[in-house]
């Protein structure tokens, strides 16, 4: 049965529409809902450190020295966060953050992902090729320099002036920190959507070695079904070490090991690098995401995930060879995240709170003539751009993920590349250009026929579903057939169906515009280019307006309201608290008891299977040891591996996930719902001691003393 719909608000030409069923039952009076103080979150930057807020709220002295130690003890690693936990360069992070690194250091005959890894001596710690860790050594607000360059040129020249200014600032900072040579990395980030600019100076460590890693099954216990859920039972940890000149790096900045852990009501501070959020977007921008962008993502991810999983079930060996397990997890993770984002955007209470915050900001700007004259029209201009973007909604949905190397058919990609190659040859392109285009075409690998057919069918179905039967692309792609039948026909008739056919066609000069797949691409590629150009222009204009709005916002609120996350270093505060869950309260921490309950309930071969060494509880392991715990800390993607520390800067947990309610954090921070999930250091300590017999690592983490061999550590413990 369809739910009735009701228009609740209209603002700046933007209409909010929500289903009203259930609201009365829930006792929600939308007219009484107001924005909260921390709706934009608590992802504080170090340049606008909340010293007074932390000190007053949590009863300790959060001074410059405290924030400096927190900043210098934390690290950024590829895609994740980490931290020093000893004076000898020992780092702790999540297992899932180093999963690829573990694979890179495996030797012939090893299965380190399945069996885990522990270096029993310093010499056994394995260098990770191409890996690095960044330490934030300085940060500077450079907004005045950027705006001085941007504001003196016409609007059309702002982008170029900004690039020049950022380059000048980067060169200045590199010269200022020249003593560290090639270790210096300068990153200038626009905060508040470009309303402010900060220059981050990192020291990059490039000799990183793997010290220990749990088994994949322990780190990802519960698998995809438990992803974004709580209660959780994952031993998601790994240790790395920074080396310098061939020896462990000596540092005076590191977090002590919080042996006592945390209890309900304790405050924790999480330091890491959360990925981009959309909390400062206008309501019109959020509505575009709600109605167009996020549903397109959900549709694409869902259909491609189905194709991959169907193939995995039918051809498990071939799927494993193609690493479809990791590809499927990546798609599933994104699908869950986007499904949660869509639910948040369709939540009336969230949208009304965003609307109230926007109304307050607009009214404040209107009271200040200096801001109103310059920024007063920004909201309406942004709303106009959203309407213009909606004109391309059909194409956005039909082309979503076009050309994806992991979720698009090889024929789809080859046909597009072949069209561009043939068109360039027809137009008389240079030999170098043609060689490059041909090489790009020939590099596209084959998929197994069954997977190829499923992925191609999904794209053809997108054309029919979103563009309609009468669209030229649909007519060319489907020819009046069902998507599955059209895919079969293309794969039978096109010389591009595999690399062998392509090579033969090129060698015999049989690759022409008359190939059936190329004929489809001849309709798709120009239209896709037109769509990209139009959307690209609108996004450029949108970014400029968002920067103007960010400047106005900062003029009103200053640093008292944190900016959106931007994969730059942040610190957030939270409290270890339960939350309402299925008619009860979710506990603040889980224990190893839960691991064995699930293992015995579901058994081997499931997502709750256990590695061999864990099938029977290790001798000495207290199953009541806290394993995972939760807090209200404001974390997001990119915070994986982030240290959770106490007021005394002792590490008590390693952040690895959020609960499903926390997926709304892309748009709003709601501590009454969302929780971040952390591996408790007491579980890591117990695992090192009783399961992995890793006294060398355990003793270093807990005492700060470096032991070169396991024998030395064993002797010290006796």
pLDDT of residue 4: 26
Q: Compute φ and ψ for 344, nearest 5 degrees.
A: -65, -45
* Helix H or strand E segment including 668: none
Q: Is 359 helix (H, G, I), strand (E, B) or coil?
A: helix
Alpha helices in 269-406 (DSSP H): 283-288, 294-314, 316-321, 324-345, 348-366, 369-375, 378-390, 393-399
Predicted confidence (pLDDT) per residue in 497-548, tens digit = 999 999 999 999 999 999 999 999 999 999 999 999 999 999 999 999 999 9
pLDDT of residue 6: 28
Q: Is 650's pLDDT higher than 70?
A: yes
Q: Is 344's pLDDT higher than 60?
A: yes
C-alpha span between 333 and 308 (Å, rounded):
14
Mean pLDDT across the chain, nearest whole number? 94
pLDDT of residue 50: 96
Q: Is 23's pLDDT higher than 50?
A: no
What would the mean pLDDT of 563-583 be, rounded to a whole number? 95
pTM above 0.85, yes or no: yes
Beta strands 133-141 and 196-205 are antiparallel
E strand spans, 440-594: 570-575, 579-581, 584-586, 589-591
Q: Is 172's pLDDT higher than 60?
A: yes
Q: Is 13's pLDDT higher than 50?
A: no
Q: Compute φ and ψ for 316, nearest 5 degrees.
A: -60, -40
Predicted confidence (pLDDT) per residue in 247-258, tens digit = 999 999 999 999
What would the mean pLDDT of 13-17 be, rounded to a whole number? 34
Q: Are 286 and 126 in contact (CB under 8 A)?
A: no
C-alpha span between 195 and 548 (Å, rounded):
6
Q: Is 24's pLDDT higher than 60?
A: no
Choose the most confident range, by mean pLDDT, from 22-26, 360-364, 560-564: 360-364
Percent of the chain topping pLDDT 90: 92
**Residue with token string 């081997």:** 604
C-alpha span between 127 and 144 (Å, rounded):
42
**Residue with token string 């807990």:** 702
Q: Are 664 and 347 in contact (CB under 8 A)?
A: yes
C-alpha 280: how far from its chain's center? 18
**Residue with token string 């309260």:** 585
Query: Residue 677 forms beta bridges with which residues?
Result: 630, 657
C-alpha 684: how far from its chain's center? 25
C-alpha span between 565 and 519 (Å, rounded):
44
Q: Are 250 and 550 in contact (CB under 8 A)?
A: no
Q: Are 202 and 184 in contact (CB under 8 A)?
A: yes
Confidence band (pLDDT; 50, 70, 90) for 32? confident
Helix, strand, coil fractions of the chain, as percent rounded to 5: 50, 15, 35
Which one-letter DSSP state was computed for residue 463?
I
Which pairs from 518-523 meet CB under 8 Å and 24+ separation?
518/415, 518/418, 518/419, 518/422, 518/494, 519/476, 520/415, 520/473, 520/476, 520/477, 520/490, 521/415, 521/416, 521/418, 521/419, 522/419, 522/476, 523/472, 523/473, 523/476, 523/477
Q: Is 127 helix (H, G, I), strand (E, B) or coil?
A: strand
C-alpha span between 282 and 379 (Å, rounded):
7
pLDDT of residue 28: 60
**Residue with token string 């519960």:** 222
Q: Are 463 and 474 in contact (CB under 8 A)?
A: yes
Query: Residue 210 forms beta bridges with which residues?
Result: 126, 240
pLDDT of residue 155: 86
pLDDT of residue 323: 85
What would the mean pLDDT of 581-604 be, rounded to a whole number? 95
Alpha helices in 151-235 (DSSP H): 158-176, 216-219, 223-226
More confident residue, 324 or 19: 324
- Tokens (6 digits) for 163: 């690039």
Q: Is 578 helix (H, G, I), strand (E, B) or coil?
A: coil
Q: Is 482 helix (H, G, I), strand (E, B) or coil?
A: coil
- Domain 68-132+206-274+570-718: assigned CATH number: 2.40.10.120
User: What is the Cα Rg of the chain in Å?
Assistant: 27
C-alpha span between 489 and 484 (Å, rounded):
9
Give one word for 608, left, alpha or beta, with left for phi > 0 and alpha for psi -120 to 50. alpha
* Helix H or strand E segment including 250: none
C-alpha span between 419 and 437 (Å, rounded):
10
- Considering the chain, tell me which residue range(s) the CATH 2.40.10.120 domain(s) occupy: 68-132+206-274+570-718
pLDDT of residue 320: 87
C-alpha span between 352 and 300 (Å, rounded):
29
Q: Is 706's pLDDT higher than 60?
A: yes
Q: Is 104's pLDDT higher than 50?
A: yes
C-alpha span between 614 and 638 (Å, rounded):
29
Comparing C-alpha atoms, which of 684, 570, 648 is closest to residue 239?
Answer: 684
pLDDT of residue 14: 33
Least confident of 18-22, 379-383, 442-446: 18-22
Comparing C-alpha atoms, which of 206, 201, 181 is closest to residue 72?
Answer: 201
Predicted confidence (pLDDT) per residue in 456-485, tens digit = 999 999 999 999 999 999 999 999 999 999
Beta strands 626-631 and 589-591 are antiparallel
More confident residue, 325 or 416: 416
pLDDT of residue 31: 82
* Helix H or strand E segment including 609: none
pLDDT of residue 29: 74
- Tokens (6 digits) for 491: 């794969």
pLDDT of residue 559: 87
Q: Compute φ and ψ for 573, nearest 5 degrees.
A: -110, 150
pLDDT of residue 492: 97
- Tokens (6 digits) for 680: 């408790």
Q: Are 466 and 398 in contact (CB under 8 A)?
A: yes
* Helix H or strand E segment including 268: strand 267-272
């Amino acid at each position: 049965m369809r739910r009735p719909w009701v228009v609740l608000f209209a603002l700046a030409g933007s209409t909010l529409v929500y289903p009203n069923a259930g609201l009365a039952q829930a006792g929600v009076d939308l007219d009484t809902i107001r924005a909260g103080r921390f709706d934009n979150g608590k992802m504080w930057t170090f340049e606008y450190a909340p010293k007074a807020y932390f000190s007053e709220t949590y009863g300790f002295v959060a001074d410059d020295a405290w924030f400096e130690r927190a900043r210098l003890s934390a690290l950024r690693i590829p895609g994740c966060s980490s931290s020093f936990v000893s004076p000898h360069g020992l780092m702790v992070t999540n297992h899932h953050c180093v999963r690829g690194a573990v694979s890179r250091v495996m030797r012939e005959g090893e299965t380190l992902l399945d069996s885990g890894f522990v270096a029993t001596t310093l010499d056994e710690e394995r260098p990770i090729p191409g890996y690095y860790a960044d330490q934030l050594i300085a940060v500077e607000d450079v907004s005045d320099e950027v705006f001085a360059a941007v504001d003196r040129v016409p609007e059309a020249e702002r982008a170029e002036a900004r690039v020049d200014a950022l380059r000048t600032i980067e060169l200045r900072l590199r010269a200022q920190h020249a003593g560290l040579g090639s270790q210096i990395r300068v990153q200038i980030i626009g905060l508040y959507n470009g309303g402010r600019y900060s220059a981050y100076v990192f020291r990059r460590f490039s000799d990183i070695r793997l010290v220990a890693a749990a088994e994949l099954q322990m780190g990802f216990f519960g698998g995809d079904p438990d992803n974004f859920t709580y209660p959780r039972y994952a031993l998601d940890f790994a240790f790395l070490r920074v080396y310098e000149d061939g020896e462990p790096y000596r540092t005076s900045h590191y977090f002590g090991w919080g042996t006592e852990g945390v209890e309900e009501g304790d405050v924790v501070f999480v330091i890491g690098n959360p990925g981009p959020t959309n909390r400062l977007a206008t309501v019109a921008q959020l509505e575009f995401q709600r109605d167009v962008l996020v549903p397109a993502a959900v549709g694409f991810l869902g259909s491609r995930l189905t194709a991959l999983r169907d193939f995995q079930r039918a051809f498990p060996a071939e799927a494993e060879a193609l690493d479809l397990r990791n590809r499927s997890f990546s798609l599933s993770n994104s699908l869950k995240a986007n499904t949660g984002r869509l639910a948040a955007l369709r939540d009336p209470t969230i949208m009304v709170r965003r609307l109230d915050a926007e109304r307050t900001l607009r009214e404040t700007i209107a009271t200040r003539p200096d801001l109103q004259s310059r920024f007063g029209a920004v909201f309406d201009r942004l709303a106009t751009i959203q309407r213009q973007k909606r004109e391309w909604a059909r194409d956005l949905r039909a082309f979503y993920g076009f050309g994806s190397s992991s979720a698009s058919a090889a024929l789809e990609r080859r046909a597009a590349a072949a069209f561009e190659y043939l068109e360039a040859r027809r137009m008389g392109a240079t030999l170098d250009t043609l060689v490059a285009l041909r090489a790009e075409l020939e590099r596209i690998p084959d998929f197994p026929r069954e997977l190829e057919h499923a992925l191609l069918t999904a794209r053809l179905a997108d054309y029919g579903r979103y563009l309609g039967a009468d669209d030229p692309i649909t007519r060319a792609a489907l020819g009046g057939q069902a998507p599955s039948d059209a895919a079969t026909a293309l794969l039978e008739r096109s010389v591009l169906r595999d690399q062998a056919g392509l090579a033969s066609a090129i060698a015999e000069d049989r690759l022409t515009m008359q190939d059936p797949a190329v004929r489809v691409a001849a309709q798709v590629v120009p239209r896709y280019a037109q769509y990209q150009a139009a959307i690209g222009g609108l996004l450029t204009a949108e970014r400029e307006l968002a920067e103007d709005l960010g400047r106005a916002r900062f003029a009103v609120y200053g640093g008292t309201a944190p900016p959106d996350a931007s994969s730059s270093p942040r610190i957030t505060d939270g409290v270890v608290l339960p939350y309402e869950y299925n008619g009860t309260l979710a506990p603040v921490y889980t224990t190893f008891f839960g691991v064995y309950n699930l293992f015995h309930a579901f058994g081997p071969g499931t997502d709750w299977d256990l590695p061999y060494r864990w099938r029977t509880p290790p001798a000495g392991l207290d199953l009541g040891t806290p394993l995972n715990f939760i807090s209200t800390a404001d974390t997001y993607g990119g915070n994986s591996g982030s240290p959770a520390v106490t007021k005394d800067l002792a590490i008590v947990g390693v952040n690895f996930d959020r609960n499903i309610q926390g997926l709304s954090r892309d748009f709003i921070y709601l501590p009454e719902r969302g929780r971040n999930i952390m591996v408790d250091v007491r579980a890591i300590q117990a695992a090192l001691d009783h399961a992995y017999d890793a006294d060398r690592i355990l003793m270093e983490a807990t005492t700060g003393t470096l032991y070169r061999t396991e024998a030395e550590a064993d002797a010290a413990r006796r």
